[in-house]
Amino acid sequence: MSKPQVETMPLEENVRLNITVSRYNLQRLKYWAAVSGKTPSAYASQIISARLEANFDLINRQLEDLAQSQGMTLTDLKELLDSQDSK
């Protein structure tokens, strides 16, 4: 009996993202990270990743709606947005 094939996502390199938060939120992030044994940067990364994962379906629906409202295909919209990253 053979093992079932499992599709895996390719490993991606991490990309640095500069963000701005209020001093109040930075202080709260520092506290939250400290009680979790993480640096503020590492914890912020986990928070962002968790929220993106939790909203995956919503993000996809919004992309579809935006593409439709712009008279584009979803593929064309994604290509446009991806090309803006490289500028």
Residue-range domain boundaries for the chain: 22-54, 56-87
Q: Identify whether the C-beta of residue 33 lies closer than 8 Å to the C-beta of residue 40.
A: yes
**How high is the pLDDT of residue 28?**
98
What whole-number distance in Å separates Cα of residue 28 and Cα of residue 61? Answer: 32
One-letter identity of residue 46: Q
Contact 40, 30 (CB under 8 A): yes
Indicate whether this model's pTM tops 0.75. no
Q: How far is CA 60 from CA 10, 45, 57, 65, in A?
A: 20, 21, 5, 9
User: And the tokens for 30?
Assistant: 């520092």
pLDDT for the residue 15: 85
- Give the pLDDT confidence of 17-69 residue by residue, as tens digits: 899 999 999 999 999 999 999 999 999 999 999 999 999 999 999 999 999 99
